[in-house]
Structure 1
Amino acid sequence: PLEPEVNTMDPLEKRMLAKGIEPFSVSAMRQTGSVSNLIYSSIGVAYKDKPEEIIPRIVPDSLSELEYALVSAVFRLTREKQPRIALAATEDFGLLHQVLVQEKYQVRPVSLQDQELLPVDTDIVLIFNPMDLNERQLWDIREALAAGQKTILAVQSTQWDYNMAQGQITIHRLPVATGLEPLLKDLGISIEPKVLMDEQHTAVRVARSQVDQLFGTGMSLNLPMQIILTKEQMNADDPVTAHLDNIFYMWGSALRLDEEILNTNKLTATVLATSSPKSWLVDVPMTLTQNLTSPVQGEQKAYPVMVRLTGQFPANTKAAPSPALEDDPEATNDLEEMMVTREHQPGELILLGGAAMFNDSLLQNNIDLIMNTVDSMAYGSELIQIRGKKAPSRIILGLSPHSATVWKILTYCLPSLIIAALFGLRTWSRQRRRIIFSQTLGSKA
């Protein structure tokens, strides 16, 4: 008869698996060569009767983030309730949703395309890449701001299509109708309709075929609307941006501030980030041409790209219900009831002139920016100061054609000039010593 299978798993290992701690493989060197071992390396944080939080996969490479992981776990466990976030975004922001859930936020997706109302019981509202918003949706956002719901609004007003055909590339501009213009204008801020370009930009690799997509190859395009924001463009006095290094501001726009309207609304505007002083605005037709990518002489300056507004935001009036729901008496009554019962209090709005920088393809490059913004609204500025202690990243920007020419001349000619100068100095020194020696012999004779 077959003997029953005996479970030889260690009790401690069973306990860790029950807590959701999974082993991972690491390589170790032995006399016979390299071997792989499964190890458990995690930290558990418990507080009172709340469920224990597990910080998984503690390895030397993750030690720079360990302090933030521990403190953020303590922040979450000691709060009476977890921060709730309403995330209104398109499908290409799915990775952002996963990151927020991983950080233990209670995330409620909201579909603006289906004219879904923003929930009133959330602490933070995230709106990314809004398109064709109608009057009802603008009313809803305005009411959320007036009620003090902290809001992050990332607007993408221009997209670009890189079309590869027959060995040539054509770049088309795709304007995006957001529908936010009336709301932003009433607040005293707006999206610049012209295209923002900057000499401080980076290259993007574009696949020319399915083979390029498979192997990660393709044509490298270095265009001025692929903007890099460095530490010098961040507001060093604000905790959200003080410790950020580099942000890939892909296809982002500049922001306009109307001081008169801001003062009328008693809103305080704080610029969190700007473009470099070598940026400019240009009217771009539907197709981008080479002459439009050259800097405009005499018109280069820094433009705001990320702004925070704080204060009591203007509210909707009772006589302005949602036009989109006038045919639905029950929904209209719900809106009117919510409009009366919600108390108005000071709020906070952070507006960014770009949303493509946070999609699934680019989120990894800009994750610190969005998490700093969300954490500051949810927990305050103390937590994000800990995240800023990790090792800074460095980026080497491309040189302008003029600078590249100067460096080539220096690289090729400077060593030869130094050698020639040393040879001439040596020759002059020998001749001088010969003359002095001859004069000395003559005087002795």
Structure 2
Amino acid sequence: MEGPVKLTLYVTPDTLPQWLADAPEVIQKAAQAVAGESNGKFTFETVNVDDPNSPVNRQTLQEQYGLRPIAAGLFSPQTYYLHMLLQIGDQQPQLLVPSGEITEAAVRTSIEAALKRSSTGFLKVVGVWTPPDQPIPNQFGQMQASIKQYNTILEQLRQDYSVRRVDLSSGQVPPDVDVLVVIAPQGMTDKERYAIDQYLMRGGSVVVAAGNYVLNPDPFTGSLGIQKVDDGLRDMLASYGINVEEAMVMDPQNEPFPVQVDRNLGGVVVREIQAINYPFFVDVRPDGMDRQSPILANLPAVTLNWVSPVQVDESKNADRQVTVLLKSSPHSWLRSNINIQPDLDAYPELGFPIEGEQKSYPLAVAVQGVFESYFKDKPSPLTQQEGQDNADPLAQQASAGDTAQPETVGTLESSPDTARLVVIGSAEFLNDIVFDLSASLSGDRYLNSLKFMQNAVDWSVEDLDLLTIRARGTSARVLNPLTERQESFWEGLNYALALLAVVAIGVIWRIRQQNEAPMELVPVEVLAEGGEQ
């Protein structure tokens, strides 16, 4: 650890709720235990914010660190401070939030996790949230495996990180998580959104695969379908100035879709796999990538499936570093109809009509800087009783003392400038089913999507060394996209070359026959004389 480490507890002991009366002493014991093992590198200090002689008051905490006091109760006029700030050298101070109750073990875990995040040589922890894995009924009413499978990306991340599935229902992200990855957010509660928001406000890094459409296969036919996402992160991301639009990008530059086709060969029906253009599988090549970003180092292509445009609000992001990572080709367009089955009879080239304006659309962005909380000036979900949002206020007040769970840390209303957010407009490009479809036709091409996600995590934890190493590695190389005229040209050329090769072989064989000396036959008389002997 470079530089001294200091933990400061800002507290107002006179206004602490009864249930937190022992918390300052618990925090002090845990901090002193860490200090005793640090050889003088770790120090601890308690500051009474309400003390007239204190160098720090409530206004200072609000202006300098954005820390606001916490309400002592749901309807109590009293407020209090119980905030731990960890200062490591010249780095931005970190707000420590113990998971669950304030115990010596929880406080120590928070301290050690913060120290590991700021040090080198420790295996980083990636927290991953995925939708609940619930079985679905098939056409016979029997339950079958869920389509919400994301095991491939988890295994890929485990090559370089400690990967852990996280449960955000408590309203908190575990304190030892270095980067939070949210895949296909849907059906989320305010507590889960609050956990993500406050993790970002504490200077954390969040990577979100946040398209507005998810897979929803037909249980009777088994064909693929999609549906709109309910209760995702769209509104919260929009408050940060990142708008994931309710439409899908369609691009003539796409990864083909495998379909089964029956062919009649002389009365024998043969079923084979053929590739068709599928504009929903947007194929992003180097001309649609920001090559200056380390996230895209050495990537020849990335496919985003059923992807939504990701628009950046310039006014809200004026003071942040914004990078448009991926964008579609200039010939792409938008579609809001959720019918994803191609009609090759009506539209033989692409399977779908070209609608509206054709232009390039941003598909993924990376943002770093100061964010304003989505829950600013809103009641914290941690203090609201479940199911009573619209209940009688008098009834809430009567039962608040028995069932309400007060916060141990108030809502942070802004983040430090170290906060990082990556938003990708596709919710399903990391789904195992999508990888299987790609592998059936394009081999290892899906590995580029995995590498793109790995690079995004590397950037989020500021592991540029690992990014550099991976950039020198291998990727699944893909051919340059061809127009229909080019495809016809190369197909005709292949047939012509094959025909010329057959003709050439025939000519060479004929010439060899003509140049060979004829074999001399033995006369019949000689054979007869030989037989008599």
User: 2:257 & 2:462 partners in 1: Cα distance?
Assistant: 35
**Aligned-pair CA distance for 1:392:** 4.9
* Gap change, CA 1:82 and 1:390, over 3 Å in 2: closer
Residue aligning to 2:172:
117
Cα deviation, 1:40-80, whole Å, max 9, x if unaligned, reads xxxxxxxxxxxxxxxxxxxxxxxxxxxxxxxxxxx99x825
User: 2:359 & 2:339 partners in 1: Cα distance?
Assistant: 25
Deviates more, 1:394-403 or 1:240-249: 394-403
Cα deviation, 1:303-335, whole Å, max 9, x if unaligned, reads 11110111111123375210785259799646x
Matched, 1:154 2:206: no
Cα deviation, 1:95-138, whole Å, max 9, x if unaligned, reads 333333332x23331235x5663224422111001102232222
Residues 251 and 279, structure 2, Cα contact 8 Å, conserved in 1: yes
Residue aligning to 2:457:
374
Residue aligning to 1:303:
361
User: 1:392 & 1:106 partners in 2: Cα distance?
Assistant: 23
AA at the equivalent of 2:177: T
* Gap change, CA 1:151 and 1:242, over 3 Å in 2: same
Deviates more, 1:176-185 or 1:191-200: 176-185
Residue aligning to 1:106:
162
SS of corresponding position for 1:136: helix
Residue aligning to 1:177:
230
* Gap change, CA 1:307 and 1:319, over 3 Å in 2: closer
1:243 is matched with which residue: 275, 278, 298? 298
User: 1:106 & 1:287 partners in 2: Cα distance?
Assistant: 37
Cα deviation, 1:200-246, whole Å, max 9, x if unaligned, reads 1122325699xxxxxx9645443111121222222111111132112
SS of corresponding position for 1:276: coil
Larger Rg, first or second structure (1 or 2): 2
AA at the equivalent of 1:124: V
**Aligned-pair CA distance for 1:254:** 1.5
* Gap change, CA 1:398 and 1:170, over 3 Å in 2: farther
Residue aligning to 1:227:
282
User: 2:352 & 2:489 partners in 1: Cα distance?
Assistant: 19
**Aligned-pair CA distance for 1:149:** 0.7
* Gap change, CA 1:235 and 1:329, over 3 Å in 2: farther
Residues 130 and 185, structure 2, Cα contact 8 Å, conserved in 1: yes
User: 1:148 & 1:330 partners in 2: Cα distance?
Assistant: 34
Residues 327 and 362, structure 2, Cα contact 8 Å, conserved in 1: yes
AA at the equivalent of 2:173: L
AA at the equivalent of 1:339: G
* Gap change, CA 1:278 and 1:120, over 3 Å in 2: same
User: 2:401 & 2:178 partners in 1: Cα distance?
Assistant: 28
* Gap change, CA 1:182 and 1:243, over 3 Å in 2: same
Residue aligning to 2:47:
none
Residue aligning to 1:131:
186
Residue aligning to 2:385:
326
**Aligned-pair CA distance for 1:277:** 2.0
Residues 150 and 432, structure 2, Cα contact 8 Å, conserved in 1: yes
* Gap change, CA 1:107 and 1:170, over 3 Å in 2: closer
User: 1:343 & 1:171 partners in 2: Cα distance?
Assistant: 41
CA RMSD of aligned residues (A): 3.9
Gaps of 5+ in 2: 1-115, 134-148, 263-270, 387-399, 436-445, 498-533
1:275 is matched with which residue: 317, 325, 328? 328
Residue aligning to 1:4:
none
Aligned 1:21-420 pairs, distance under 5 A: 79=120, 81-90=122-131, 91=133, 92-103=149-160, 105-111=161-167, 117-159=172-214, 172-206=225-259, 218=273, 220-263=275-318, 266-286=319-339, 288=341, 290=343, 291=347, 293-294=351-352, 296=354, 299-315=357-373, 316-317=375-376, 320-322=379-381, 325-327=384-386, 333=405, 336-339=407-410, 344-346=415-417, 347-361=419-433, 362=435, 364-396=447-479, 399-405=482-488
User: 1:160 & 1:176 partners in 2: Cα distance?
Assistant: 10
SS of corresponding position for 1:262: coil
**Aligned-pair CA distance for 1:376:** 2.2
* Gap change, CA 1:360 and 1:111, over 3 Å in 2: farther
User: 1:162 & 1:187 partners in 2: Cα distance?
Assistant: 33
User: 1:125 & 1:359 partners in 2: Cα distance?
Assistant: 18
User: 1:102 & 1:390 partners in 2: Cα distance?
Assistant: 14
SS of corresponding position for 1:240: helix
User: 1:330 & 1:82 partners in 2: Cα distance?
Assistant: 42
Residue aligning to 2:393:
none
Residues 89 and 128, structure 1, Cα contact 8 Å, conserved in 2: yes
Q: TM-score, normalised by structure 1?
A: 0.63
Residues 267 and 311, structure 1, Cα contact 8 Å, conserved in 2: yes
User: 1:88 & 1:298 partners in 2: Cα distance?
Assistant: 36
* Gap change, CA 1:205 and 1:286, over 3 Å in 2: closer
Aligned length, in residue pairs: 328
Residues 259 and 275, structure 2, Cα contact 8 Å, conserved in 1: yes
Cα deviation, 1:3-37, whole Å, max 9, x if unaligned, reads xxxxxxxxxxxxxxxxxxxxxxxxxxxxxxxxxxx
**Aligned-pair CA distance for 1:284:** 1.9
Residues 173 and 288, structure 1, Cα contact 8 Å, conserved in 2: no
**Aligned-pair CA distance for 1:374:** 1.2
* Gap change, CA 1:109 and 1:339, over 3 Å in 2: farther
Residue aligning to 1:63:
none
SS of corresponding position for 1:368: helix
User: 2:207 & 2:219 partners in 1: Cα distance?
Assistant: 35
SS of corresponding position for 1:132: coil
Gaps of 5+ in 1: 1-74, 210-215, 415-445
**Aligned-pair CA distance for 1:82:** 2.8
User: 2:175 & 2:402 partners in 1: Cα distance?
Assistant: 18
AA at the equivalent of 1:147: R
